[in-house]
Amino acid sequence: MVTYYQKPILIEKGSMQFLYDSNGKKYLDMFGGIVTVSVGHCHPKINEALKVQADKLWHTTSIYYTSAMFEYAEKLTATMPENLSVCFFVNSGSEANDLALELARLYTGRFDCLTVRNGYHGMTQTVAGATNLGNWKQPLPSGFGLLKTMCPDPYSGPWGGSKCRDSPIQTKRNCDCSSSDDCKAGKEYFRQFEECLQFDFPAATGPAAFLAESIQGVGGTVQYPKTFLPKAYDAIQKSGGICIADEVQTGFGRLGSHYWGFQANDVKPDIVTMAKGMGNGFPMGAVVTTPEIASVLKSALYFNTFGGNPLASVVGKAVLDVIEEEKLQENCEKVGTYFLKELAAIDSPLIGDVRGKGLMIGVELIDENGAKMPASRMANIFEFIKDKGVLTGKGGRFGNVLRIKPPMCITKSDVDQAIDAIAEAIKTVQK
């Protein structure tokens, strides 16, 4: 197993945004079990829903109907555009993306699909080919029929600057854009996208699907130029291809301004995949699509033993209720913007970039010469933040990005605690 810390911690208990180790030490959780604990550890409403259902019915599998599954499907699809009205329930984001690719290939009659470098979509044998980070790849055949386009990164890519991202905080690079609506970086990355379509796919058809995260998660909270995804979606859909929005990390209000990341990008996907925060830690995922696309599974049986499990369904429905009742989307907008601005105010040459939206935040750390933060110094920063009672994640191809994706219930005082720990850790390592 891989653990983050030189001195691994044994977690015994959780409560909302806090975790407690085997020695009773309290930690502020700023990573939410890898962007999974959406409304809070052991949230009482989620716990109660699970306990009530556990006394009624654990499992039947989807060969029988259950009211829990239908009630959840209705509430979930109500958050989507009207045409996205069919749910397939699975156990994880990897399974969801695997099924989404299968649906796209069956519906279009094409095989090759397009993904984005630096993206992460799971670890099943099929989806591993769409996960475009070398440190997550094994020397096994996995990329057949999955091609990659350049990552449109305004911070470290060849184009981008201070007007490109949909974020309260912009990269420090100078921007060649005449305005935020006329983005040169977006045009240049889309030109690369078009070249990929022209050179890598049959001219008469194009790809079966384009699979992309709304904001790259494991890749280090990378945000694309605002104009990129709308242009990419338009090109794919005009060619008869399917656009798949991977909302495993960006969904359920985390971005603050919108419930789903694709809405923040002003695009209309044909398939949406989700997991993680969907169940607040309960293992569940889903594919949501149109009736027309869903109907292609009639050509052969499709089945998922635990998909739509009654326990999972009541948990999922309770999560949606809590997000609405406790106004957690609004909290993400307010507290997340405050968090981003406070991070950007930390004065250190070791901070290369602060980026994100809502409570999906990344801090890219570099050395004094502008190169990526060496692993040894990154490990020291992580250890120090943890010793100060705050837990964060890390990501990016080189593991030099602090990933901050906490339970969506955190407060401004929690942010202040996290800022103090991060700033002190960076200052200590800088010395």
Question: Is residue 16 within 8 Å of residue 274, measured between CB atoms?
Answer: no
Rg (CA), the chain: 21
- Asked whether the predicted pLDDT for residue 143 surpasses 90, the reply is no
Q: How confident is the model at residue 182 (pLDDT cuts 50, 70, 90)?
A: confident
pLDDT at 376: 87
- Tell me the C-alpha distance between 163 and 184, whole Å: 10
DSSP state at residue 426: H
- Asked whether the predicted pLDDT for residue 257 surpasses 70, the reply is yes
Q: What are phi and psi of 310, to 5 degrees?
A: -55, -40
The pair of structure tokens assigned to 398 is 């080189």
- Tell me the C-alpha distance between 170 and 164, whole Å: 7
Q: How confident is the model at residue 178 (pLDDT cuts 50, 70, 90)?
A: confident
The pair of structure tokens assigned to 320 is 């949606």
**Pick from 222, 230, 312: nearest CA to 265:** 230
Q: Which fold has domain 50-325?
A: Aspartate Aminotransferase; domain 2 (3.40.640)
Sequence-distant (6+) residues with CB within 8 A of 401 are 220, 221, 362, 363, 364, 365, 394, 395
CATH 3.40.1260.10 at 11-30+327-430, yes or no: no
Q: How confident is the model at residue 218 (pLDDT cuts 50, 70, 90)?
A: very high
- Tell me the C-alpha distance between 260 and 251, whole Å: 5
Sign of CA dihedral 300, 301, 302, 308: positive
- Tell me the C-alpha distance between 128 and 135, whole Å: 12
- Tell me the C-alpha distance between 275 and 77, whole Å: 14
Using CA atoms, how far residue 151 sits from 179, 223, 388, in Å, is 22, 10, 35
The percent helix, strand, coil of the chain (3-state, each to 5) is 35, 15, 45
**Pick from 208, 28, 27: nearest CA to 107:** 208
Contacts 24+ apart (CB under 8 A), 127-130: 127/94, 127/97, 127/98, 127/101, 130/97, 130/101, 130/211
Would you list the domain boundaries of the chain?
Answer: 11-30+327-430, 50-325
Regarding beta strands 393-395 and 401-404, do their DSSP bridges make them parallel or antiparallel, or are they unpaired? antiparallel
Cβ atoms < 10 Å from Cβ of 303: 9
- Tell me the C-alpha distance between 396 and 218, whole Å: 6
- Asked whether the predicted pLDDT for residue 78 surpasses 90, the reply is yes
pLDDT at 369: 86
- Tell me the C-alpha distance between 85 and 288, whole Å: 7
pLDDT at 180: 59
- Asked whether the predicted pLDDT for residue 181 surpasses 80, the reply is no
Q: Could you give the residue ranges of the DSSP H alpha helices within 182-268?
A: 184-200, 228-238, 261-264
**Amino acid letter, 419:** I
Sequence-distant (6+) residues with CB within 8 A of 423 are 346, 348
Identical topology for domains 11-30+327-430 and 50-325: no
Reported as a single tens digit per residue, the pLDDT across 101-125 is 999 999 999 999 999 999 999 999 8
Q: How confident is the model at residue 140 (pLDDT cuts 50, 70, 90)?
A: confident
Question: Taking all residues of the chain, what is their mean pLDDT, rounded to a whole number?
Answer: 94
- Tell me the C-alpha distance between 298 and 430, whole Å: 60
- Asked whether the predicted pLDDT for residue 234 surpasses 80, the reply is yes
Question: Is residue 121 within 8 Å of residue 97, measured between CB atoms?
Answer: yes
**Amino acid letter, 310:** P
DSSP state at residue 403: E
> Which of 48-57, 175-184, 290-299 is least confident?
175-184
- Bridge partners of residue 41, in order along the sequence: 16
Reported as a single tens digit per residue, the pLDDT across 336-386 is 999 999 999 999 999 999 999 999 999 999 998 888 888 889 999 999 999
DSSP state at residue 217: T
- Asked whether the predicted pLDDT for residue 179 surpasses 80, the reply is no
Reported as a single tens digit per residue, the pLDDT across 275-295 is 999 999 999 999 999 999 999
Question: Is residue 389 within 8 Å of residue 30, measured between CB atoms?
Answer: no
Question: Is residue 240 within 8 Å of residue 196, measured between CB atoms?
Answer: no
